Amino acid sequence: MLGARSRRFRNRRHAGALLGAMLRELEAVNPLVLGLLRGGVPVASEVACALRAPLDVWLVRKLGVPGQTELAFGAIAEGGVQVINQKVVKQQRLGKDRIRKISRQEQRELSRRARLFRRGRPAAPIKGRTIFLIDDGLATGASMRAAIQALIQRQPHDIVPAVPVAPSRTIAELNSHATKKAGNTELSHANCVSRAISLLSPSPFWGVGAWYDDFRQVSDSEVVQLLDAHAGIGNAQP
């Protein structure tokens, strides 16, 4: 956790350097750092440098309520995984046809982004590796949960969800999820989700951007440049 004098981040790269310093203390098997688009990639780039590990992107798309796109009723991730928040669905009276339509639209965008950001490179191999799953912060955690569920299908050795800032409730929910996964005898021992990590868990929360001095939008070109800079570093399957 950050000390009292470090209660904010200058920008995403500053946050990533601090997060990487913490994660460097953890044991890892053939580590791979995955950044969630787009804001998670600059953070993940610094983590990858700190861990001397390869970097890739893990694609997740938020499912936004029509007319209130910042309000998510769920998320989809690579591998065909979909997570739905039934509470929001009920509150917003979203029908199955509307949910299906939005999901199809976001799936097309997810596929487009995979082509754009990887530029023809295959996704980094997941099986048997410690996966550090990085974002610039969490609010509800829906995107992170979708990403975790998709990754579990790829049989990693371990998944470590880690962010600079998140509400304590969201971190607690992710840790509850991890406990259930680790304790599920139907899953192989390799499919284990570790304790979620957040450098800051402020209350009141106010949103992820409130804890950054510079929280400008990350461009597609910046993501491409960061992934290109890390391309080919240690991505071979062990």
Place of tokens 């979708």: 146
| pTM of model > 0.85 | no
Burial (0-12, 13-18, 19+ Cβ within 10 Å), 203:
exposed
* Average pLDDT of span 50-72: 89
Token pair for residue 143? 């995107």
What are all long-range contacts of 1-8, with beta carbons under 8 Å and residues at least 24 apart? Answer: 1/199, 1/200, 2/199, 2/200, 7/200, 7/202, 7/211, 8/211, 8/212, 8/213
* Average pLDDT of span 204-228: 94
For the chain, percent of residues with pLDDT exceeding 70? 88
pLDDT class of 35 with cuts at 50, 70, 90: very high
pLDDT class of 100 with cuts at 50, 70, 90: very high
* pLDDT number for residue 47: 98
The pLDDT tens digits of the residues spanning 135-152 come to 999 988 888 888 898 898
Is the pLDDT score of 102 beyond 50? yes
Beta strands in the chain (DSSP E): 32-36, 55-58, 60-65, 68-77, 81-84, 130-134, 158-165, 197-200
CATH topology of domain 12-59+123-230: Rossmann fold (3.40.50)
Domain boundaries in the chain?
A: 12-59+123-230
